[in-house]
Each structure stands twice: as structure tokens, then as C-alpha cells.
Amino acid sequence: MTTDTIRLLDLQFFTLVGDLPHERTTPQPLEIDVEVRVDLAGAGRSDRLADGLDYRELYERVAEAVSADPRNPPRLLETVAERVAERLLALDAVEGVRVRCRKPRVVLPGPSGKVEIEIERP
């Protein structure tokens, strides 16, 4: 396994996610970070995008995962993270991923900031 990593940080979306009634009907902010393990040596030597992984492709797959099926939005951040990981791992060059999903406006019984979950997949 390679130790090379591409990171896209603080990707911001407005989407439906959550289990509470208002979260099922009102879009809210969602922040996502992804780390993709991929061999970058070829691109580093050739200085050609064709020998690497286009960041735009990564972003598009994350956005696709976040916006999947608005008629049945995910209830859990864990579900969003799994969807993102699956789409990124489907790229041939990707050896592994780490996905962090944050809700900056989480509803808790007391004062709070953000809630974040993190998953890592081979």
C-alpha cells in the first residue's frame, strides 16, 4: 500500500441528512473532508495530469454521494460517509480512503459546536 495522499478539505454542501422531522425536509450544511491513498509517483515524475488522479473527479464523486436520492435522504452521517467512500474506492487508482463528515449545526440538549464522524476503508 502506498503512503501518498490527496486531501480535499472543507468541502461544503447543503443537503438533507438527519433523523429528526425537520432534518428530513429542510436542507442543512454538511462539511466533508476526504483523504485518498493513491500512488502519485508517476504523476510527480511526468508532470502530467493523465498520470495522476484529477481532483475534480474526486469532488464530483463526493458531490454525487451527498446528493443521492432526495426522496430518501440518509438519516446518519455514517451513511453519507459510506456512500462517499464507496464512490471514491470505485476509482481504479484509489487504494484506500478516509472520510470525515461534519454537521456544523447539530441539535443537542446543550451548547454545542459541530459533530463529526470519521471512517477509513481499505
Query: How many angstroms separate the CA atoms of 53 and 31, rounded?
Result: 22
Query: How many angstroms separate the CA atoms of 96 and 54, rounded?
Result: 16
101-109 — which CB contacts under 8 Å span 24+ positions? 101/30, 101/31, 101/32, 101/77, 102/30, 102/31, 102/32, 102/77, 103/17, 103/18, 103/28, 103/29, 103/30, 103/31, 103/77, 104/29, 104/31, 105/28, 105/29, 107/20
Query: Mind telling me the catalytic residues?
Result: 103
